[in-house]
Amino acid sequence: MAKELKEGAKAPDFRMESTDGPVTLASFRGKPLVLYFYPKDDTPGCTTEALDFTTLAKDFAKAGAAVVGVSKDTMARHEKFATKHALGVTLASDEDGATCEAYGVWVEKQNYGRTYMGIQRATFLIGADGKILRIWPKVRVKGHAEEVLGAVREAA
């Protein structure tokens, strides 16, 4: 990660359009926020991750936490993705990449010998006070949403 954020540090502020209207860090003040970054709408891993968070959406809500998925896709793509898969999580569009940069997830990646810039799948659990409680860098999708829910419940 380019910018190394640490657990216990103040979470970087953000402002993005989302499937639920404009969102900022302050709009979640007073409750935990799960901010998860993913590379691209409607790709296999990203779809599985969004569906896993959707499956547990009621449990996150019961624990008092909001869940927001972030990628650089446009709002039109987010709306199409959310509708196609009946997603129950908020999707935020970071088209200019400012939030990805602030959270250090815009990184150099390699695939089949090709080097390019892209979003590293990562999740941040931000406490009610705006401080980072937990960071999951380089996320593996299988079982991740359940692990994050466990951490939200622990933090409550």
Give yes or no: 100 in active site.
Answer: no
Degrees to nearest 5, angle at CA 96 with 124 and 110 = 70
Instruction: Answer yes or no: is 87 within a domain.
Output: yes
Instruction: Answer yes or no: is 65 within a domain.
Output: yes
Which residue among the candidates 34, 46, 82, 89 is catalytic per the annotation? 46
- As a whole number of angstroms, the distance between CA 80 and CA 112 comes to 29
Task: Per-residue pLDDT tens, the chain, 156 aa: give them.
Answer: 446 899 999 999 999 999 999 999 999 999 999 999 999 999 999 999 999 999 999 999 999 999 999 999 999 999 999 999 999 999 999 999 999 999 999 999 988 999 999 999 999 999 999 999 999 999 999 999 999 999 999 987
Instruction: Answer yes or no: is 101 within a domain.
Output: yes
pLDDT at 4: 80
pLDDT at 3: 61
- As a whole number of angstroms, the distance between CA 58 and CA 76 comes to 25
Instruction: Answer yes or no: is 67 within a domain.
Output: yes
Q: Count of CB atoms within 10 A of residue 25's CB?
A: 17
Q: What is the CATH number of the domain that holds 111?
A: 3.40.30.10
Looking at the structure of the chain, the number of domains it has is 1
pLDDT at 2: 45
Domain containing residue 68: 15-155
Instruction: Answer yes or no: is 141 within a domain.
Output: yes
Instruction: Answer yes or no: is 7 within a domain.
Output: no
